[in-house]
Amino acid sequence: MGSLFAELARQASTNARREVETYTRDIPEFGFLDKDPRARAETLEHSMWFRRRTVELSPDNDELTHADLGYIASMGELRAGAGLSLDARQRVLRVHTALMLREINEATEAQRGGGVDEIMRMMTWFAPQGERGISAYRQGFVRVLRRRIPYSEQVALLARSLVNADPISAELAESVDMELPYRYAVTVFRLPGRPDVDRFLENEIGALAKSHQSPVMWGPEGGDGSGELIALLPLFNNAKAAENAPPPVVPDLLPDLIPGHLPALVRDFGHALSRPCAVGTSIAALPELAEALERARRVSRAAPLQRASARLRPHTLADVFVELAISDVPFLDDWLHSVARRLEKGPDLLATLDAYYRHDMHRGATATALNVHTRTLDYRLRRVRELTGIDPGSTRGVRTLSAVVTRRQSGAWR
């Protein structure tokens, strides 16, 4: 055995103890090791085992055996059984990998650089076998999750892992029998108040997630008491379909390119929630889901609250970019709010303007939607002009009054 491998063997016990101490110090969920001697001894044994196997296998570039991988999977099962979270699991893997690389570097320095051939053999072994070991650990971890937690919680873990680009998403998707498409419409349903998630609602959301192959999770509660449901709505059946697709465009700038099935999916979730909600969506590839979630969240805050009906639809950046800009300029928002207050003198002027712009200012279609005569519609539009000094059919009217309507409907003005 070369000098580098001999040094690693000599330091294995010290390095294993340092790893356990690092877990206890840096990962809060491992604090129990200070109170549970048996668990601490078991964790130390795992650390020692891996270092021994590294020294035994790496000189000749031998692979981890099936028994080795089974033992590593059992470590993942043990940690999941102890309630370790996905975030803590990811930190464990990062800490372990960082410490192993540090130990190789320290052993090299102790041997005054050591042989280049030994270092190359070690690194050649470490990368692929480390990946196999991590995969086995993830599989063991997920096996326990599948047995211990309800389907809806597994789906939420999958959604969170996809947004965080956690590699465990592949194993989680397999455990809930979902394919992972290349692109998703990250969709946020903003609710004025977070609902009480009873068993009925949980089952409804879980059934929709399963039937639509859509990972779903509840978002954090807003400072105003609002809640949100986050759904990753698939846009391709599988990654291969996406590979053969034309180069992607920026979907938020071209809302008409949103797939035709998306509004129906949104309405299904809206009906399950059975309360008014504002829906924001942003399309992105798997590596970009975190950024897409932030965009969709901001869009949902600017989008109008709508009831679960045929009118409920996803809004994109292109639908509410004016309102998003307004929300960041308080004096401009105050001015529009003052216009809205004038329109409250009625009758039904804000609802009339909403229908007018939704129907592209077509008088007949607007009157039909409002169930009024066109003369009544004309009277209301004249009344808007009298109260605000703005013609609803002018360029200025479209720019100003449509923003007033959307801001009012979003619930931004209390």
Nearest to 233 by CA among 183, 279, 164: 183
Identify whether residues 335 and 238 lie together within a single domain.
no
Asked if residue 155 belongs to a domain, the reply is no
Identify whether residues 308 and 274 lie together within a single domain.
yes
Identify whether residues 244 and 289 lie together within a single domain.
yes
Residue at which a domain ends, from 315, 338, 371: 315
Identify whether residues 298 and 368 lie together within a single domain.
no
Residue 167 has what pLDDT? 87
Contact, 141 vs 166, CB < 8 A?
no
Could you give the C-alpha distances from 184 to 188, 290, 310, 319, 395, in angstroms and in order? 12, 11, 23, 19, 35
For residue 279, the cross-strand partners are 189
Identify whether residues 100 and 215 lie together within a single domain.
no
104/123 Cα distance (integer angstroms)? 9
Identify whether residues 144 and 186 lie together within a single domain.
no
Residue 310 has what pLDDT? 65
Angle value at C-alpha 109, between 107 and 68, nearest 5 degrees: 20
Identify whether residues 8 and 144 lie together within a single domain.
yes
Identify whether residues 198 and 79 lie together within a single domain.
no
Rg of the chain over Cα atoms, rounded to whole angstroms, equals: 29
For residue 283, the cross-strand partners are 185
269/204 Cα distance (integer angstroms)? 9
Q: Assign residue 37 the CATH number of its domain.
A: 1.10.490
Asked if residue 168 belongs to a domain, the reply is no
Residue by residue, DSSP assigns 369-390 as HHTS-HHHHHHHHHHHHHHHS-
Asked if residue 156 belongs to a domain, the reply is no
Identify whether residues 311 and 341 lie together within a single domain.
no
Identify whether residues 205 and 249 lie together within a single domain.
yes
Q: What is the domain count for the chain?
A: 3
Asked if residue 391 belongs to a domain, the reply is yes
For residue 277, the cross-strand partners are 306
Residue 192 has what pLDDT? 84
Asked if residue 324 belongs to a domain, the reply is no
Identify whether residues 182 and 301 lie together within a single domain.
yes
Asked if residue 40 belongs to a domain, the reply is yes
Asked if residue 55 belongs to a domain, the reply is yes
Contact, 213 vs 234, CB < 8 A?
yes
Asked if residue 164 belongs to a domain, the reply is no
Low-confidence ranges of the chain (pLDDT < 50): 1, 237-247, 249-251, 253-256
Q: Assign residue 340 the CATH number of its domain.
A: 1.10.10.2840
Identify whether residues 126 and 198 lie together within a single domain.
no
* Strands of 216-218's sheet in order across: 216-218, 227-234, 183-191, 278-285
> How many residues does this entry show for the chain?
414
Instruction: Provide the domain limits for residue 20.
Output: 3-148
Residue 123 has what pLDDT? 85
The per-residue pLDDT for range 284-308, each reduced to its tens digit, is 999 999 999 999 999 999 999 988 7
